[in-house]
Chains A and B, each alone.
Chain A
Amino acid sequence: MKQSIQWQIAEVKAIKQETLTVKTFTLTIPVWVQHRAGQHYDVRLTAPDGYQAQRSYSIASEPERTGEIDLTVERLDDGEVSPYLHDVLVPGDQIELRGPLGGYFVWDTTLGGPLLLIAGGSGIVPLMAMVRHRVAQRSDIPTRLLYSVRTPEDVIYAKELSGLSEQHTRLDVIYTFTRQAPPNWRGYARRIDEMMLREVLQSLESKPRIYICGPTALVEVAANTLAGIGIDAESIRTERFGPTGGR
C-alpha cells in the first residue's frame, strides 16, 4: 500500500494550557488517517520570505478519536516553531502538517504487555497516547508509568493521570521529582537511576515491553541502565527529544 504523507492544512479547534510552558493543540485534520499510539506529526511553518522551519510533535490523543488529534507542545525559548505555536496560534487558525509518522516507537494493545513507560518531562506525550489507547480499548494490560519531572507544577496531564490510576487498578503512575518535590513527599525525588529502575521493574510480573521518551540525557541513562541490569535490548524502544523537552 502506498503510504501518502502529503502536507495538509489543519485547523486549530482548541488550545489548552497544560502547565506554564506546555499547551495542547486540538487540530481538525482534513485527511485524517488513524494513527498508532506513539506516532508523531511534522509541523511546518513558512515565513513570508519562503524560509521554512519544521519540527516533529508527538500525538497525545488516542487513535480511537477520529478526525482530529491533540499535539502537546512544550514552549522552548530558543525554539523556531514552538514559540509561534504558543504565542501566536489561536483557535480557528490554520497550520500545515503531515502525518501520522513513525513505525518504531509505537504500541497498541495487540502487542500486549506488561508495559513499562518511562517519561522525562514532555516525553510523557507519546506515552500518554498509549495510556489513552489502553483506556479506550478497556485493556487491563498491567502498565506502569515512571514519570520524571522537575516539580509538581511541571506534571502534564496531572489530573487525568491521578484519575486513571485510581480507576484502573492495573495502571500505576510513579513520579520522581528532580528539582522540587511536593511537601511531605515520600516518593522518589531524584533523577532516574539503577536502584529506581530495579524497584520499578520488581513488581511487574513478566518481561515488560519498555518505552522510554524524554530528553536525550534521560533516555541514555534509562536505556543504558536497563541494558546493564540485563533487560533484553529488543524489548526497549526509545524516543529522544534532544537536549531540551522538545524536538
Chain B
Amino acid sequence: MSELDESMDMNTQMMLDGNALAGKLQTIFGVEMTATSSICAQCGGTSMMGELRAFTQSPGIVLRCPACESVMLRLVQTPQATLLDARGVMYLKIPAY
C-alpha cells in the first residue's frame, strides 16, 4: 500500500534514481550507462547517470540533475521509436563496447 509522507511533496516521494533505468538506458545506448558521467547543461555539475533524479510516473521519463534539479534528459518510448530530448545535458560519456 502506498504511504505518502506529508512532510514531502508527492513528486519528491515518487522520485527514483537513474539507476532504476539501467535496463532502458542500456537498451538505447547499447552499454551499461548508470556508472558513466554526465554534465548538466544548466549548472555544469558532473553526476553519474545512476545518481540523476528519475521521474518515471508519466508517459515519458524525466531525468534531472541532482544538484540543481534542471531537466537533463527526457525519454519517450512509442511502439515506433524512442524519442530522446537531451538538451539539458552538456556532455555524456558513452563507454566503448
Binding site for B on A (CB under 8 A): 1-3, 5, 39-40, 42, 56, 76-78, 98-99, 101-106, 215-217, 220, 237-244, 247
Q: With A1-B97, A101-B26 given, is the CB distance from A216 to B16 under 8 Å?
A: yes
The answer for the CA separation of A110 and B51 in the assembled complex, in Å, is 22
Is B16 a contact partner of A241 (Cβ separation < 8 A)?
A: yes
Given contacts A3-B32, A104-B48, A239-B17, 19 further A-B contacts (CB under 8 A): A2-B31, A2-B97, A39-B22, A76-B1, A99-B23, A101-B26, A103-B33, A104-B18, A104-B22, A104-B49, A216-B8, A217-B7, A217-B12, A237-B51, A240-B15, A243-B2, A243-B4, A243-B14, A247-B16
Q: With A101-B26, A104-B48, A104-B50 given, is the CB distance from A240 to B16 under 8 Å?
A: yes
Number of interface residues of B (CB under 8 A): 33
Q: Which residues of A contact B17 (CB under 8 A)?
A: 104-105, 238-240
The answer for the CA separation of A240 and B36 in the assembled complex, in Å, is 19
The answer for the CA separation of A98 and B18 in the assembled complex, in Å, is 17
Q: With A3-B31, A103-B32, A216-B13 given, is the CB distance from A247 to B20 under 8 Å?
A: yes
Q: With A103-B50, A104-B48 given, is the CB distance from A2 to B1 under 8 Å?
A: no
B42 within 8 A of A: no
Binding site for A on B (CB under 8 A): 1-5, 7-8, 10, 12-20, 22-23, 26-27, 30-36, 48-51, 97
Residue of A102, A244, A247 most packed against chain B (CB within 10 A): A102
Is A3 a contact partner of B97 (Cβ separation < 8 A)?
A: yes
Is B5 a contact partner of A217 (Cβ separation < 8 A)?
A: yes
> B27's closest neighbor in chain A, by CB?
A5
Q: With A101-B22, A102-B50 given, is the CB distance from A244 to B27 under 8 Å?
A: no
The answer for the CA separation of A221 and B24 in the assembled complex, in Å, is 28
The answer for the CA separation of A2 and B32 in the assembled complex, in Å, is 9
Q: With A1-B97, A244-B1 given, is the CB distance from A216 to B15 under 8 Å?
A: yes
Q: Which residue of A77, A98, A244 is within 8 Å of B23 (Cβ)? A: A98
Q: Which residue of B2, B13, B30, B35 is within 8 Å of A104 (Cβ)? A: B35
Residue of B14, B18, B49 most packed against chain A (CB within 10 A): B14
